[in-house]
Amino acid sequence: MLQYIVIGVVIGGIYAIFAAGLITTFQASGILNFGYGAIAFFIARTYYFLLVQHQWPIWAAALISILVIAPAMGFILWAALFRILQQATTLVKVVATIGLSVMLPALAGIIYGNPVISFSPGLVPYPVPSYTVLGVGISLDQINVVACVVLILVVGFVVVNMTEWGLVIRALVDSPAQTSLTGTNPKVAAAAVWTIATCFAGLAGVLIAPILGVNSDNYEFLIVAAFSAVLLARFINIGVAILASIALGVVSSLLNLWLPPTGTVSTGVIASVPFAFIFIFVLYEAVRRKVPSNPGGGGGALDRAITTGGAVSASHDKAQPSDFNTRPDFRLSGWRRQKRLPTAITALVILLLLPVLLSPFWTGRVALGLAFGIVFLSLRIVMGEGGTIWLCQASFAGVGAMVSAYLITDHQWPLIPAIVVAALLTALGGSILAYLTTRLGDLYVALVTLAFGILVDRLIFTIPVFQGSLNAGIPLVESFATNDTTFFYILAGLTLAVVLFVEHFRQSTAGLALSATRWSEPSSRALGLSVVQIKVLAACLSAVIAAVGGAFIALSYQYAVPATFDTIGALVWIAVFVTVGVRSTLAAVVAGILSVVTPAIFQTFFPTSISDLPPVLFGLGAVLLANNPEGVLIMHAEQGRRLIAHTLHAGRRIFPTVEARSSDVVD
Amino acid sequence: MDHNTQALQVSDLCAGYGSAQVLFRISFNVEQGGVLAILGPNGAGKSTLGLALAGLIPATAGTIEFEGARLSGHSAHQVARAGITYIPEGRGIFPRLSVDDNLRMATRRLRKGERRAALQEAFENFPVLLNRKDQLARTLSGGEQQMLALANAFCTESKLIIADELSLGLAPMIVDQVFATLERAKSAGTTIIIIEQFVTRALALADNCLILAHGSVAWSGTASDASGAAARQYFGQGVEVVGRRSNSESESDVDENVGG
Amino acid sequence: MSLTDGAQSQPRDGNFETSELRNLAPSPNTGDSDTVLEARNVGVQFGGLVALSDVSLVIPYGKLVGLMGPNGAGKTTLFNVLSGFIRPNSGSVSLLGRDVTSASPQIRARMGLTRTFQLPDLFKSLTVAEHLSLGYRLHHKPKRLWTDLVTPRAWGKPDKAEVEQVEKILSLLGLEEMANVLADGLPTGLTRLVQVGLGLAASPRVLLLDEPAAGLDTNETRELSVALSRAVEQEGTSMLVIEHDLDFLLGITGFVYVLDAGRLIASGSPSEVAQDRQVQSAYFGTNG
């Protein structure tokens, strides 16, 4: 048992370093860094690169990666991203840091190559010596982790509480604006905080490598798990976060001991502890109505007054309609108010000609892209129109795929009833999730939906039923579409139907109402709208569309495996959607096609060394959102698109509609 | 007016938030050691003016000069280093730092010996803070928090104090204490700008007065002439001037007049 | 036309169908049919802080009433109580003769009470006209919220009655040219007007306006007061308006209430209260 507690303390200690870093940076700038795990991974990967690939001595590799590259990276990221991001809306902050988490691992792949990493050394030369203390075997790696955690925490505590530097950091964390009023430059202090926090992330990343393996997904999980400690600390109290981290580590480890050692269910349960914790904690708070809005990071009332302009403004010039964005006249019919109807028809014609123009392989890719497009169309409702940061859409798509595949293969159901049942299940799930999260602030919704997605991955998709023949997955009926072209046309028709439905929804009274609840809940309620009803409706419709999209993704692949719908892996979907697809309904389809076709183009036409470039571009696109402090996604989606379009010369040649469609007028 | 006696000179200052302009060509001067009251109804731009003077929001046009040096275009920490203490509306303190740490932040730029002396002096001048030295500032009462904000200004020997709505939400007795402290700063020769809702109190302390309306200067003049103008701004042009007084020395004057 | 029709005191039965509404007890003194909205002895405490204490006021049918008071007097808290965003610790609120003290904002909205907020927050991704359409539909065609999803109505032309109502409010507020402009980025002055329009689009019995003139310049203020007066005269809408500027209130109302530190300290015509000693001390500061 003591053995398990030791392991728990080690893992908990790593959580603690991450949680402390997350809280400090959140309080100093109001940004919860979803990319923190990716930063830790990047440094760990750098260390591995120097140590193993280039056979540097341990001390040199550690020095360069943890004490040179990590701080440099922290400073650069602060200057280029976090500094600007401070003024942005929660949606942009979350998506931009998600962009970071998508971009950095891929970037690491490009810079350091993609060797098979079977063994990841820590700060100790191999073979790692083990000691027996009180009858418990403990490796020097584990001792290192505990020692470093203790050292960081002790030194951190002393520095923060007893030095002049610490005073400034605490002041900054309390209120950047007030800090500047005492004559201290808050920017210098903030840069220091981010630089040091990145160093810590790097150290923690290197320390944990022997336990986790140098695998970016594991690092991202670790960060989301650390979020649970951050939540328990209510984004403020580092002491509570540290204790909670260690408790979480120990509890997870002890479950390992207590639960039956075999069976995927146990593994799933153990791995889900922190995420279940996030889920339950936030919902409990929501029921108690304790967290009506976002946690207050980045200072107090004064800081908000100078960023959002708390005061009302006067206008001395007569405003003209030409100064603003306009829409077609409200007296026109819904059809005539569709500004992009000609473009849409052109795009549709080109799409229908594609099977004639392209080889069967590329037709298949585009068909898969359309299926992804349907999932992105579902995001268009819940994120694009509803403004909710909804990070579990991949799970709904996954349920659509897995459940319909299960019904078809194991129970010989026909396709359509199977999809309907799957969609009804996701509708239920989406509605319940939306109902439970309606009252929460944006950031809490992001965390809960992310935790929900991971729970689905670990608890539901690990059920033996969905594992099928595990690796091959569950093959879907191949007789459904007799050939690729038929399948393509079926998907094109379905996509068209979903596009029309999304536009229909947007124009309907419910669509107007969803926009209303997004921008001002009080005003909506004063108009007699029930915010809960509208949000549940949007989530429900969105989940159904995602399920249909998911089912068709599986149909395109000809098999359904949970890995396709992994929540962490699917964060790249969010990056692509917000970068390209949030602008209009058509753009969502384009985003779907791009997300499939771009990697395919890279794999086919470019050397493998840069096959990781598409995720870098998608992540970068999301990161670039930060440049617009107002958080009008539209403009920056435009930037990201331009960037992608520039890079993908081949994309234009092979797939001309990408350009034609994505240059549509922004709606 | 002699150029040298002007502590602060503001000319044609424009400012706002993002694309929304709030202040339109504001101009005024404050003499060395003088007290200026900035009055005006809600939404007139008083607090925005305070933020712009402190450098927390940028001036989009116009200039601010302090003791002959240009301040506009500098950020808040540079403005603070020039000897200006701005106390924002809703307490100019670090709520989650202790009283002691608050004062240490304020005196960070002093030399070691000076700093110790300044801290000691602050606790002597504000004995109420000494008992609360290790408490978090947010656990102080509203009045104590304002005292702490003022103590910050005192212990750095600010040349100019800009105080936004110091008396908001305080009990009358505490308001007295706050104004007594400002009075002390005034007699020590500190230049003061007070942004206030309570016209009478502000005008009793001030030498000059600036009334804002809709983001522009609606009236400016001596404090003694200001109360009638203030009444018109607050209650509208159509209302009879109340609180006429030629002599602003005593507040009982107002009492006699407002009844009629 | 519908706006005028709706405003005649005939009950809009459609709004009373919901069972929640039927459950509301009749108010004790339903006798006074001239009263649209009434607060009796309302008290609100936040923790130990008394935000409102024993406040009573009456908004008569088809009248505009002003509400004044210095910062922190409790005006917005009173609005929150009247519109259902805060439940008072004591006292009661009645709307159209029914006790609504514990009814939600949505229920009160369906009964014909709408309000605006001090912060100029609009629905940024909707145009000005879409705001008004939404306000209109939620009150006159509440079922469309759901039926639109399954009928092709959204693709067709908007209803004639809706267009008329929207055009009417646009012209009332001088917003005709801005009809198809997105609300995002509108200057504050226009935002205020759209907020008022959003309230009016619902053809409310009573409209609560929280500082509608804050941030408006002199011209805009004048235009707003004309628009409000016309809405009251033509549509018979009752209004309660928070405003500091007595000049503004003088132009549109004969009666104001003055709050200070959570209590009603005066009521009467604007010029009367301006001369009131307590009012002056509330605004200019206490002398003790």
For residues C162-180, average pLDDT? 91
Q: What is the overall mean pLDDT for chain A?
A: 81
Tell whether the torsion through CA atoms of B49, B51, B55 and B57 is positive or negative: negative
Q: Give the pair of three-digit tokens for residue C79.
A: 């609005």
User: What distance in Å separates the CA atoms of residue A372 and residue A418, rounded to the nearest whole number?
Assistant: 19
Main-chain dihedrals φ then ψ at residue A418, nearest 5 degrees: -60, -45
Contacts of C74 (CB under 8 A, 6+ apart): C44, C51, C52, C55, C259, C261, C262
Residues A564 and A647 reside in one and the same domain: no
The confidence band for A45, taking pLDDT boundaries of 50, 70 and 90, is very high
Q: What pLDDT shows up at residue A636?
A: 44
Cβ-based contacts of C217 with chain A (< 8 Å): 314-316
**Residue A69: is its pLDDT beyond 90?**
yes
How many angstroms separate the CA atoms of A29 and A85, rounded?
9
The bridge status of strand C206-210 relative to strand C113-115 is: parallel
Nearest to A442 by CA among A96, A90, A86: A90
Residue C213 and residue C239: Cα distance in Å, rounded?
14
pTM of the model: 0.84
> Is the pLDDT score of A424 beyond 90?
yes
Higher-confidence position of C202 and C20: C202
What are the φ/ψ torsions at residue A291 (nearest 5 degrees)?
-120, 70
Percentage above 90 pLDDT, chain A: 25
pLDDT in the model for residue B52: 92
Assign residue A67 the CATH number of its domain: 1.10.3470
Question: How many interface pairs between A and B have CB atoms less than 8 angstroms apart?
Answer: 110
Which band of pLDDT confidence, cut at 50, 70 and 90, is reported for residue A173?
confident
What is the arithmetic mean of pLDDT over A499-507?
A: 93
Question: Residue A309 falls within a domain, yes or no?
Answer: no
Identify the H or E element spanning A136.
Answer: strand A136-139
Q: What's the gap between Cα A475 and its chain centre?
A: 29
| A264 and A355 co-located in one domain | no
Q: Average of pLDDT values for A231-249?
A: 87
pLDDT at A262: 59
The answer to whether residues A623 and A533 belong to one domain is: yes
Q: CB contact, 8 Å: B252 with chain C?
A: yes
Residue A427 maps to a domain: yes
The amino acid sitting at A587 is: A
What length is written for chain A?
667
Between A650 and B128, residue with greater pLDDT:
B128
Question: Nearest residue on chain A to B104, judged by CA atoms?
Answer: A167
Long-range contacts of residues C151-155, Cβ cutoff 8 Å, at least 24 apart: C152/A504, C153/A508, C154/A334, C154/A504, C154/A507, C154/A508, C154/A509, C154/A511, C155/A333, C155/A334, C155/A335, C155/A504, C155/A507
Confidence of residue C260 (pLDDT cuts 50, 70, 90): confident
Residues A277 and A353 in one domain: no
In total, chain C counts a number of residues equal to 288
The residue among A313, A320, A324, A504 with the most chain C CBs within 10 A of its CB, best to mutate, is A324
CA–CA separation, C222 and B115 (whole Å): 56
Nearest CA in chain B to A170: B97
Q: Token pair 């209109």 is at which residue?
A: C136
Report which of C270, C213, C244 is spatially closest to residue B239, judged by C-alpha positions: C270
On whether both A367 and A449 belong to a single domain, the answer is yes
Q: Residue A602 pLDDT > 80, yes or no? A: yes
Selection from A573, A582, A554 nearest residue A619 by Cα: A573
Same domain, A277 and A354: no
Q: Residue A323 domain-assigned?
A: no
* Residue-level pLDDT at C91: 92
Sign of the alpha-carbon torsion through A621, A623, A628, A630: positive
User: Band of the pLDDT at C18, cuts 50, 70, 90?
Assistant: very low
- Which residue bears the tokens 């994120």? A383
Same domain, A295 and A212: yes
Which residue segment(s) compose the domain that A645 sits in?
Answer: 636-666
**pLDDT tens for each residue of chain B, 260 residues long:** 444 588 899 999 998 876 677 888 999 999 998 999 998 877 778 888 999 999 988 888 899 999 888 888 888 999 998 989 998 887 788 988 999 999 999 888 888 888 888 888 888 888 888 888 889 988 888 888 888 988 888 888 889 999 988 877 777 778 888 888 889 889 988 999 999 876 778 888 899 999 888 788 888 888 888 777 776 666 655 444 343 333 333 333 333 333 32
CATH T-level fold of C14-284? Rossmann fold (3.40.50)
The answer on pLDDT for C19 being more than 60 is no
How does residue A619 score in pLDDT terms, banded at 50, 70 and 90?
confident
Contacts of C70 in chain B (CB under 8 A): 197
Partners of residue B157 in chain A, C-beta under 8 Å: none
**Which amino acid is residue A631, in one-letter code?**
G
CA quadruple A315, A317, A323, A329: dihedral sign: positive
The pLDDT of residue A295? 56
In this structure, are A188 and A94 located in the same domain? yes
- Hey, which bits of chain C come out as E strands? 35-46, 49-60, 64-68, 90-95, 98-99, 113-115, 206-210, 238-242, 256-260, 263-268
pLDDT: is B222 or A123 the higher one? B222
Looking at chain C, which residue has its C-alpha nearest residue A508? Answer: C154
> Are residues A640 and A620 both part of a single domain?
no
Task: For residues A80 and A158, state if they share a domain.
Answer: yes
Q: What is the ipTM of this complex?
A: 0.85
C32: pLDDT strictly greater than 80: no
Which of A182, A187, A236, A306 best probes binding to B when mutated, by most B CB atoms within 10 angstroms?
Answer: A182
* Residue of chain C minimizing CA distance to B176: C288
Cα–Cα dist A551/A499, whole Å = 17
What is the distance in angstroms between the CA of the first residue and the CA of the last residue of chain C?
56
d(CA A157, CA B173): 41
Beta-carbon contacts of A599 under 8 Å, excluding residues fewer than 6 positions away, are A611, A614, A615
Is the predicted pLDDT of residue C14 greater than 70, yes or no? no
Mean pLDDT calculated for residue range C164-191: 87
Tell me, what amino acid is at A124? Answer: V
For the four alpha carbons of C92, C97, C102 and C106, in that order, the dihedral sign comes to negative
Question: What is the distance, to the nearest Å, from the Cα of residue A402 to the centroid of all Cα atoms in its chain?
Answer: 22
Q: Could you give the number of structural domains in chain A?
A: 3
pLDDT at B233: 66
C-beta of residue A196 within 8 angstroms of C-beta of residue A544: no
Residue C170, pLDDT > 90, answer: yes
| C contact test, residue of A336, A509, A517, A530 with most C CBs within 10 A | A509
> How confident is the model at residue A234, as a pLDDT?
83
B75, A306: Cβ pair inside 8 Å?
A: no
Confidence of residue A70 (pLDDT cuts 50, 70, 90): very high
Kindly state whether residues A576 and A662 are assigned to the same domain.
no
Can you read off the two tokens belonging to residue A524?
């909506």
**Taking an 8 Å Cβ-Cβ cutoff, which residues of chain C contact chain B?**
70-72, 185, 187-188, 211, 214-218, 244-250, 270-271, 274-275, 277, 280-281, 283-288
At residue A631, does pLDDT exceed 70?
no
Q: With contacts defined as CB-CB under 8 Å, which chain A residues touch B108?
A: 164, 167-168, 182-184
User: Does residue C8 have a pLDDT over 50?
Assistant: no
The single-letter code of the amino acid at A361 is F
Whether A230 and A342 map to the same domain: the answer is no
A57 within domain boundaries:
yes
Closest CA to C158 of A330, A326, A335, A513: A330
Look at strands B35-39 and B208-213 and give their pairing: parallel
Higher pLDDT, A472 or C162: C162
Q: Of A250 and B40, which is predicted with more confidence?
A: A250
- pLDDT digit string, tens, across residues A257-315: 777 665 555 666 777 888 888 878 877 777 776 544 555 555 566 776 665 543 333 34
State the average pLDDT for chain C. Answer: 81
* B18, B77, B94 member nearest A183 (Cβ): B77
Query: A322 pLDDT exceeds 90?
Result: no
Q: Which two tokens stand for residue B89?
A: 């509306």
Residue of C133, C149, C195 lying closest to A510 (CB–CB): C149
CA distance linking residue B231 with residue C118, whole number of Å: 24
Confidence check: pLDDT of A250 > 80: yes
Q: Is residue A310 part of a domain?
A: no
Say yes or no to pLDDT of C202 above 70: yes
One-letter identity of residue A294: N
